[in-house]
Amino acid sequence: MAAAAKLLRGAARRPPALRLPAATGRRALGSAPPGVAAGGGSRRAALLAAAAGALGGLGLGLWRRQQQEAAAAASGEDEDEKEDEELRRRFMAPPVSGLRELRRRRRELRSRMELLIMETQAEVCRALAALDPGASFSVDTWERKEGGGGISCVLQDGQVFEKAGVNVSVVFGLLSEEAARQMRSRGKSLKAKDGKLPFCAMGVSSVIHPKNPHVPTMHFNYRYFEIEEADGNKQWWFGGGTDLTPTYLNEEDAVHFHKTLKEACDKHDLKLYPKYKKWCDDYFYIKHRGERRGIGGIFFDDVDSPSKEEVFQFVKSCAKAVVPCYIPIVKRHCHDSFTPEEKLWQQLRRGRYVEFNLVYDRGTKFGLLTPGSRIESILMSLPLTARWEYMHTPPESSKEAEILEVLRNPKDWVH
């Protein structure tokens, strides 16, 4: 934690990242095989660094990071190495950009955000695994050939969790016009050159589907984007949110969940919780059903004010609130007894979850449209099992009708 905190604070142990002028563009960089790069002399290395610069310094190829790490290791910086070792133990896997690279550009927000999402992934996975002792997270690291990669942690078919996924991804490259359209759908105007925009997107994203119908499904996602327009102007913004999808309504849980989120927001600005609570209710709306996916939480996107630092601190507070939001609810109900009818209702609600994610969710759509996306990580959000019955309508005044009422008419849980 200390090492991560140090990196997160951006303690200046080294000069800031060197920026070389733009040169030949990234196609050459992307297509250079690792073997060739490793064998290159200093002129070649300079050229490659310059090529990366043409991308606006949005990231570096994995092969290049490995090369740098090898070189740095040889020069023997023992103290950094010790800190890195601690982070390696804490994190679920080595960060996509490499610890040395993150250290090199520690003052940059994208580095601090990458460390935050790694921390959050590790924290949440540890908290979940502690509740489901027989099960364990499978950890997959993957590379995206167009640039970047990710770490997918999935626990499947445990005692407590049916499917729990916590993913980190750090991807960069060129955004297709179609994907860009998805991103700017909230009014971001982006000036593309030849229909392509260099971008960098990173985030931690998680969906937890428990087995017991009395334990709600939880989702959170915190993300950061950088995008470079044709004129060299760089846009950046944050997005994210945490929301709860119960099968049955439990008011005490709903209040606890929203209250914890509100506290995280209130530390930064009292206007944030009401605004992002409403945004959440609006975003997770299954239009064709006339109901929300769940009982909400907070949701925000395209946030680029008041300042990069302030938004980052707010996002950090939200990410830190995930465990205290959700884990007490799981603990409270994971041993509750339930009937086959309650399990069936859970399965029907899982069907609705699938409908929202595949038809409306911007993150999913963006993922499916981004070339080289890791589909298994994107669709990890889908439940293990789901059900669709034709014309299923719960009886009036039933517990099933009670939650439907709240999904149709969102409530204020905290005043």
238, 200, 235: which is closest to 221 by C-alpha?
Answer: 238
Give yes or no for residue 170 binding a copy of itself (CB under 8 A).
Answer: no
Find the catalytic residue in 209, 214, 219, 333: 219
Is the distance from CB of 219 to CB of 240 less than 8 angstroms? no
Judged by CB under 8 A, which stretch of 1-9, 27-35, 38-46, 285-293 contacts a copy of itself? 285-293
- HEC string for 97-114: CCHHHHHHCCCCHHHHHH
d(CA 66, CA 74): 12
Nearer to a copy of itself, 56 or 363 (CB): 363
Select 386 or 414, whichever has its Cβ closest to a copy of itself.
386
- Calpha distance 236→252 (Å, rounded): 38
# residues contacting a copy of itself (CB under 8 A): 33
272 touches a copy of itself by CB under 8 A: no
To the query of whether residue 219 is one of the catalytic residues in this protein, the response is yes
Question: Cα separation of 62 and 29, whole Å?
Answer: 11
Interface pattern 52-91 for a copy of itself (x via CB under 8 A):
----------------------------------------
Q: Which of 99, 88, 157 is nearest to 122 (CA)?
A: 88
384 part of the interface to a copy of itself, by CB under 8 A: yes
Q: Confirm or reject binding of residue 386 to a copy of itself (CB under 8 A).
A: yes
* Rounded Cα–Cα distance for residues 261 and 71 (Å): 44
> What residues numbered 147-166 form the site for a copy of itself, per CB under 8 A?
152, 154, 156, 163, 165
Closest distance to a copy of itself from the beta carbon of 406 (Å):
20
In the window 131-150, what residues touch a copy of itself (CB under 8 A)? Answer: 138, 140
How far is residue 137's CA from residue 403's CA, in Å, rounded to a whole number? 31
Dig out the tokens for 27 from the structure: 């196609």
Residue 257 has which token pair? 């969940």
**Residue among 17, 18, 28, 359 that touches a copy of itself (CB under 8 A):** 359
Separation of alpha carbons 256 and 247, rounded Å = 17
| Window contacting a copy of itself (CB under 8 A); options: 181-189, 235-243, 303-311, 354-362 | 354-362
Identity of the residue, 303 or 358, whose beta carbon is nearer to a copy of itself in the bound complex: 358
**Comparing C-alpha atoms, which of 218, 198, 123 is closest to residue 168?**
123
Give the footprint of a copy of itself on this chain (CB under 8 A): 138, 140, 152, 154, 156, 163, 165, 287-289, 347, 351, 354-355, 358-359, 368, 373, 375-376, 378-380, 382-391
Residues noted as catalytic:
219
